[in-house]
């Protein structure tokens, strides 16, 4: 049975872990929340790249892994190429905003993307937009993308600050709708381009309207991970889920209970200092 490490800047990657546990119930998981250093979205690519190298080095040293899932759009954008260079024999799966599924869903031709500033400003995001356009040129030409760097939202979700979550969803969601209106259209699909956001999808839907489809790639990432491992010999380990945090183990445990019904007491703090 494979052992898969999953990491994020904090509790957001639990949305990917949830999908992975459903898709691969026989696997063991090590989830690392880098909550001591969250959020990543405003830190800049160089810092995130270097921090992800530290995390991957720590995980591969302390656990016999069959795969690594970078359950963070910001970290994938900044670091996945380097991680694959440094760990060439380890399957490494990243998370990217679901632009392609959004393109297939839209009827109005106005698609919103909510993500961190790091993700939206990355070269990888620009390449993803270009790639989606090349694969489906007729569709892509008819579509306008509206992006919104949702400053503060991942942090509010990290802290489970419901008042701030509601205020920030209202602020960012309203701004996104206004962008589409200014371009003469109406959003009918919004991509959740940060793994924290699926946990506040209901609040986002209240702002945007329930007829706006929200796209989250957790299930697709889980399927892709299973297929990647189908052809690999695995290390045959236990099937438990281990929860680790560089910040508050209690906060990670509470989030894992709230969203995944995992026992809160199973979360442990780890010492993984940042040398940057
Ligand atoms: N959950 C992360 C993402 O998918 C990052 C949020 C943050 O740390 O800013 O982008």
Domains 3-95+219-269 and 99-216 are alike in CATH topology: yes
Exactly one of 52, 72, 150, 169 is catalytic; name it: 72
* Ligand 1 near 12 CB (within 6 A): yes
Other C-beta atoms closer than 10 Å to the C-beta of 43 total 19
* Ligand 1 near 39 CB (within 6 A): yes
Q: Is 72 annotated as catalytic?
A: yes
Domains of the chain, residue spans: 3-95+219-269, 99-216
Q: Encoding tokens for residue 92?
A: 């490494």
Please give the number of the atom of ligand 1 that sits closest to the Cα of 12. Answer: 1
Please give the number of the atom of ligand 1 that sits closest to the Cα of 196. Answer: 1
Fold for 3-95+219-269, please state it.
Rossmann fold (3.40.50)
Exactly one of 150, 169, 194, 232 is catalytic; name it: 194
Q: Are the beta carbons of 105 and 97 closer than 8 angstroms?
A: no
Mind spelling out the 3-state secondary structure of 116-146? CHHHHCCHHHHHHHHHHHHHCHHHHHCCEEE
What is the Cα–Cα distance from 34 to 23, expressed in whole angstroms? 24
Q: Are the beta carbons of 48 and 154 closer than 8 angstroms?
A: no
Rounded distance from Cα 52 to ligand 1 centre (Å): 13
* Ligand 1 near 73 CB (within 6 A): yes
* Ligand 1 near 125 CB (within 6 A): no
Please give the number of the atom of ligand 1 that sits closest to the Cα of 72. Answer: 4
Rounded distance from Cα 132 to ligand 1 centre (Å): 22
What is the Cα–Cα distance from 155 to 84, expressed in whole angstroms? 28
What is the Cα–Cα distance from 265 to 263, expressed in whole angstroms? 6
Second CATH level (architecture) for the domain 99-216: 3-Layer(aba) Sandwich (3.40)
* Ligand 1 near 197 CB (within 6 A): no
Rounded distance from Cα 122 to ligand 1 centre (Å): 13
pLDDT by position in tens, the chain (length 276): 679 999 999 999 999 999 999 999 989 999 999 999 999 999 999 999 999 999 999 999 999 999 999 999 999 999 999 999 999 999 999 999 999 999 999 999 999 999 999 999 999 999 999 999 887 777 777 899 999 999 999 999 999 999 999 999 999 999 999 999 999 999 999 999 999 999 999 999 999 999 999 999 999 999 999 999 987 766 655 569 999 999 999 999 999 999 999 998 889 999 999 988
Q: pLDDT tens digits for 53-79?
A: 999 999 999 999 999 999 999 999 999
* Ligand 1 near 122 CB (within 6 A): no
CA dihedral in degrees (12, 27, 55, 116; nearest 10)?
A: -20
Q: Is 169 annotated as catalytic?
A: no
């Amino acid at each position: 049975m494979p052992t898969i490490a999953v990491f994020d800047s904090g509790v957001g990657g639990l949305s990917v872990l949830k999908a992975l546990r459903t898709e691969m119930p026989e696997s063991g998981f090590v989830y690392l929340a880098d909550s001591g250093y969250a959020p990543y979205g405003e830190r800049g690519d160089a810092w995130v790249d270097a921090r992800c190298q530290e995390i991957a080095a720590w995980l591969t040293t302390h656990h016999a892994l069959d795969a690594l899932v970078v359950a963070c759009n910001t970290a994938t954008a900044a670091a996945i190429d380097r991680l694959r260079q440094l760990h060439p024999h380890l399957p490494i799966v990243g998370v990217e905003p679901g632009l392609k599924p959004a393109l297939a869903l839209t009827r109005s031709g106005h698609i919103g993307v909510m993500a961190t500033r790091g993700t939206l400003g990355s070269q990888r995001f620009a390449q993803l937009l270009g790639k989606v356009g090349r694969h489906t040129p007729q569709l892509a030409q008819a579509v306008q993308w509206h992006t919104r760097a949702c400053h503060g939202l991942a942090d509010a979700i990290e802290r489970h600050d419901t008042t701030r979550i509601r205020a920030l969803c209202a602020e960012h969601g309203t701004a996104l709708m206004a962008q589409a209106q200014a371009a003469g259209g109406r959003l009918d699909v919004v991509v959740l381009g940060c793994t924290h956001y699926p946990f506040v999808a209901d609040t986002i839907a209240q702002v945007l309207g329930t007829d706006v489809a929200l796209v989250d790639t957790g299930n697709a990432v889980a399927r892709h991970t299973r297929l990647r491992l189908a052809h690999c010999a695995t290390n045959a380990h236990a099937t438990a889920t281990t929860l680790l945090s560089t910040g508050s183990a209690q906060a990670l445990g509470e989030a894992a209970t709230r969203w995944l019904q995992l026992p809160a007491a199973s979360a442990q703090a780890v010492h993984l200092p940042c040398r940057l």
